[in-house]
A and B are shown apart, each in its own frame.
Chain A
Amino acid sequence: TVPFLLIRQAEMGFVLQSSFTRSRRPRVCCCERFSPNQVEENSVQLPGHVALIPDGNGRWAEKRGLSRTEGHSAGSRTLEKVVNSCMRLEIPQVTVFVCSTENMNRPPREVSVLMELISEVVQILEKKPLVRFKWIGSSVHIPEVLRKRLDTTTKMTSRVNNPHEYVLQLTMAIDYGGRAEIADTARRLAVDVRDGKLAAEAVDEQTFDEYLRSESVSDPDLIIRTGGQKRVSNFLLWQSAYSEIYFSDTLWPDFDEEQVAEAFRWYGTRKRTYGLVK
């Protein structure tokens, strides 16, 4: 038989491919693949702060004919695996976008299952050594029970200390919106100005930075978004000014260690100039 040519949609335009060589492996795409010449042979630089946007649970479940909530539980297992691999590579800080304010508008059954999953994951993380837990978010739509559990976990793990100097700071963004976070920080600044603790003229980028850092996370070096969508979706808007963004077509429950390593390898090839000349 003559192998016929397919026109497949790649992430930018089309690709002509023979039907026999069509690869079933989910593709990694972030502005197409880089050429081998660009891979630097010397040290692979690991990011100091990784931000994860775990997208694709619902689609993964739909593909397998499961319910969306089962997709979310598979996602929580993947989250543990990814956090473990980050700990093995000694990444100091990991932030996960668990749940956005827009997500809270989903059917209440899905939302309550999500909340239960979060509390399960948090319980597991509590027992892990070397993990310091923190959560950011507006906390308006979260049930009281979950909020109490998150606060207790934060307090319990804040005293984690390691003689070998490595501790993973894990932050979960629950009911989080980037713009809302900036607006909340602006509100705190406004309250301080009204109370006289801060001069109105002193409000500038540095002051805002300080107020933001005291409540939230620092700038991520690498943002990984799975699930094929090429968006930032209101996650860490202020902090993501100079972070490298890695997009993967894999759905989150399928995102395994090999793909995490691929993401870090890609990060090692990036030249970060912060607007200056190299």
Chain B
Amino acid sequence: MLVEWTFGLLVVVVLVVLSRGRPVRKLVLAALRYSGDCPKHVAVIMDGNRRWARRKSMAFRDGHRRGGNTMVEFLTWCRDADISTITVYAFSIENFKRPKGEVDYIMDLAIQNVEDMLQPWSAVHKERIRVRFWGEMDMVPKTLRVLAAKLTCVTSKYEGASLNICFAYTSRVEIAQAIAAVTNAISDGIVPDEVNEELLAEFLESGTCRGGLKSDGWPDVLIRTSGETRLSDFLLWQSAFSHLAFLRVMWPDFNAFHYSRVVLSYRRAKADMDKRAARYQEYMRRKHTSQALPHETKEALYNIRHMYANNLATTAAGSC
């Protein structure tokens, strides 16, 4: 009887898994999730659409279309992979210099994709993904701008994953605008000596990826498909310490198996970074132990602690 019940359970499980589709992908991503750390914030440069189309003897337009489909499909399994934030590089300001026909087609494709995302059955609504658009949206046709604003608005309260689409984006322009905002604020009282990294990070448009609904943090890993090993002006400030994963697969062919390789390399890099961080923390801990202090200071500290223990000035105690 036990054998029959187990067999029945197995059949049910198999049917459930098969009916949901993509069982192998689910298994792979589940294995990734339960075997160790997964990167929480993933940045992707979706490169290689045209080369993929050329290899398959298709038109470039079809390559871009398939690339858009791959991105949407990525959204469907990003939660299985335990990713909480995705930042994608959809279109660069430099790409505006490409032939007009191609640029117009990409704009139309973007409009179609955003319209699809606005539909209630899309992955964005099913997975409760909050979508934001970063970049110079002024350079983009009005239809797309309106749709993007609508999508941002509709999904602004979603608490699932977070998707940041960098459209008409260049990291240098973003940093320059943050600096322009800071210098404009000089007349409102910002002192030049206060201008430091933290202040600039707050003024960055994507500095909100550190605050907002959830604190997403800087990207853990930056993936670039198609084999190029450059950053191409994407998240220069934010990716200063993130693991760079350069894949030779073209973006339309990107799937969960490639992502699992990225996660494995990220884990190896993280082990090394954690070792360094542990070494640094050990040094700081040893630096701060009281053995290093001279005797008079230790005595004074003891007296202060004794005094504060009577709750004379608990608010000013600080870390003493």
Contacts and interface: CB of A to CB of B under 8 A. Distances in A.
Given A187-B195, A240-B236, A231 B180 contact: no
B9 interface: no
B230 A242 contact: yes
B302 interface: no
B192 to A, nearest CB: 4
Given A178-B240, A194-B192, A234-B241, A30 B186 contact: no
Interface in A172-206: 177-180, 182-183, 186-187, 189-191, 193-194, 200, 203-205
Given A203-B176, A276-B98, A230 B231 contact: no
Contact of B244 (A177, A244, A245): A245
A221 to B, nearest CB: 10
Nearest to A107: B283
A277 B243 contact: no
Interface string A250-278: 00000000000000000000101011110
Contacts of B269: 229-231
Contact of A105 (B171, B172, B192, B284): B284
Contacts of A13: 260-261, 264-265
A240 B190 CA distance: 29
A233 B240 contact: yes
B21 interface: no
With most chain B CB atoms within 10 A of its CB, the pick from A13, A30, A105, A180 is A13
Contacts of A34: 227
B179 A12 contact: no
B200 to A, nearest CB: 6
Contacts of B24: none
A70 interface: no
B248 interface: yes
Interface in A218-238: 228-234, 237-238
Interface stretch (B27-35, B89-97, B114-122): B89-97
A11 interface: yes
A245 B182 contact: no
A159 interface: no
A135 interface: no
A241 B244 contact: no
A200 B186 contact: yes
A124 interface: no
A176 to B, nearest CB: 12
B99 interface: yes
A97 interface: no
Contacts of B233: 241-242, 275
B280 interface: yes
A278 to B, nearest CB: 9
Given A30-B246, A241-B233, A200 B284 contact: no
Contacts of A30: 229, 246
A240 B264 contact: no
Contact of A204 (B180, B190, B239): B180
A238 B232 contact: no
5 contacts: A13-B264, A182-B200, A231-B269, A240-B231, A277-B98
Interface of B: 92, 94-95, 97-99, 102, 171-173, 175-176, 179-180, 182-184, 186-187, 190, 192-193, 195-197, 199-201, 227-233, 236-237, 239-248, 260-262, 264-265, 268-269, 272-273, 280, 283-284
Given A186-B200, A232-B241, 9 more contacts: A182-B237, A183-B200, A186-B179, A187-B192, A187-B193, A203-B176, A205-B173, A232-B231, A275-B233
